[in-house]
Amino acid sequence: MKISKHIKTGLLLMALGLTSCEDKLLNLTPESVLTPSDFYKTAADINQAVLGVYNSLQTRRQTDYLLMEVPADNLYMSANTTIAGSNDVDFLTVNADNALTAAFWNTTYNGIFRANAVLLNIDTPVNYTPGQKDQYIGEAKFMRALYYFDLVRIFGGVPKVVDKISIPEAAALPRATEEEIYSLIIEDLTDAITRLPAKKSIATGRASKGAAMALLGKVYVYRQDWANAKNQLEKVINEPDYKLVSDFASLWKLETEDNDEVIFTVKYVDGTNGQSLSTSYTPNGGLVGIADRGAETSLPSWSLMKKYEAGDKRKAATVQEWWTSPAQPNAEPIYYPYVSKYAVKHSYGASGIDIPVLRYADVILLYAETLFRSGDKANALVQLNKIRERAFGNASHNYKGNETTDFMDLILDERQLELAYEHERWFDLVRTGKYLSVMTREERLYNYAAKTPVVVNLAPKDFMKVYPIPQAQIDLSSGLKQNNGY
């Protein structure tokens, strides 16, 4: 895998004092951030600290599917999973003691504390090269914005921490409102855009100006601020550094993972600094030429698989239906569906394929939605059909604009097919309110012999648009209040 030497080194050397950062918002230990006397003396120190900010996302991203895909209709947990709390997410029965939400909270705030530490100590070194200090500020603010964007989408309003705080202050810190958190996100990204270099001037895996513009445009979509969303997304659409690659499958190959469609991605190195997601999706019995065994934590839902039309090239690069055991590679394949999007040859639990956060196709679909919401259906159709043409290799499956299906449903369906297992589906259903109807019924395992799916009936409620605040955090705090319904 191609990766910047500096990124690789920084991500592997987190023992360089960065463990003094708090792992929990209310972890009652004397240290909350590194002190200037311990670190942050040179530009190289700041660079290492910035890489530490990315490390928190690298740690978390490989398990984000458990909270961002599993509760929706793309994925369901397998019968043999041992991941604590995952079945409650799968069946929409999460409570405040869920281990997955607690881990997500802790790791994400760890990243925020690291970003804050960079920003609080950025003025200490005096040996920056031209533009270097601005880049580090931009990276820290981009990452802080991304972390808060994830938190506010998962939990709603959360504590707003942008400075070093004492233990008593942390224990009394209340939840900020969603509006306050979104204001901080927009402020951070707006500033980051002015400081970050273009994509070609920074290593893949680090934030660029285009990444900040794309994320800000996405934030505005979530806020339904269509005028600002259009402005930001158009800048990315018109940016020559980004374009759709011709072959969708090439996005998920090690040799072509760094491509013109990548806007922001999380980098991994097989074996030494790999991710577990590829193993999680690999069948227990392994995959021929890829892995001798897998964890098979979760499986693709028939609700998604049945939506792929004949000729849609994305299907084979996203899910496979027929499986052959590596132990018997010449045996007849059996119907045994699995997620194939991250299926590259890899070490068990340590795959080197990157996990994207933002790519150009996502921006195009967000732009199509923005145009439609702004009353420009004709141009929204043009953007939507860009994705369709790539999927089918020609214009034969383009939408004409006279379909009986609601146009917004066409966009959401296209996002589901294009971005499956990229941690977008649950958020798309929640932000549009569709989860209340879509998630009443999920078709999971498909009985190939009987040609019928196994249907699971669910009971989504309005309050489930956010997860509960972890009970451990509430127990440590006098300021945190639980979300309604939990």
pLDDT score recorded for residue 167? 84
CB 247 within 8 A of CB 232: no
Q: Is residue 126 scored above 70 in pLDDT?
A: yes
Cβ-Cβ contacts under 8 Å for 307 (sequence gap 6 or more): 413, 416, 417
- Token output for 280: 């999680």
User: How many percent of the chain have pLDDT more than 90?
Assistant: 88
Q: What mean pLDDT do residues 390-408 have? A: 96
407-418 helix and 377-392 helix, angle to the nearest 10 degrees: 30
Under the banding of pLDDT at 50, 70 and 90, the label for residue 39 is confident
User: How many percent of the chain have pLDDT more than 70?
Assistant: 92
Q: Is residue 426 scored above 50 in pLDDT?
A: yes
Average model confidence (pLDDT) across the chain: 92
CB 49 within 8 A of CB 40: yes
Task: Give the alpha-carbon dihedral of 208, 212, 213, 219, to 10 degrees.
Answer: 160
pLDDT score recorded for residue 32? 42
- Token output for 356: 């994207």
Q: Which of these, 444, 484, 443, 442, lies nearest to 461 by C-alpha position?
A: 484
pLDDT score recorded for residue 164? 87
Give SS3 for 22: coil
Q: What mean pLDDT do residues 101-126 have? A: 97
Under the banding of pLDDT at 50, 70 and 90, the label for residue 37 is low
CB 362 within 8 A of CB 342: no
Q: Is residue 14 scored above 70 in pLDDT?
A: no
Tell me the pTM.
0.93
pLDDT score recorded for residue 227? 98
Classify residue 452 by burial, with Cβ atoms within 10 Å: 0-12, 13-18, 19+. exposed
Q: Is residue 342 scored above 60 in pLDDT?
A: yes
Q: What mean pLDDT do residues 90-103 have? A: 98
Parallel, antiparallel or unpaired: strands 298-300 and 75-77: antiparallel
Q: What mean pLDDT do residues 367-384 have? A: 98
State the CB neighbour count (10 A cutoff) for residue 254: 16
> What pLDDT digit, counting tens, does each position of 450-461 carry?
999 999 999 999
Q: Is residue 366 scored above 50 in pLDDT?
A: yes
Q: How far apart are the first and last CA of the chain?
A: 44
> What pLDDT digit, counting tens, does each position of 201-240 carry?
999 999 999 999 999 999 999 999 999 999 999 999 999 9
For 11-15, 61-65, 109-113, 246-250, which range has the lowest pLDDT when averaged over its residues?
11-15
More confident residue, 81 or 391: 391
- Token output for 405: 């299906």
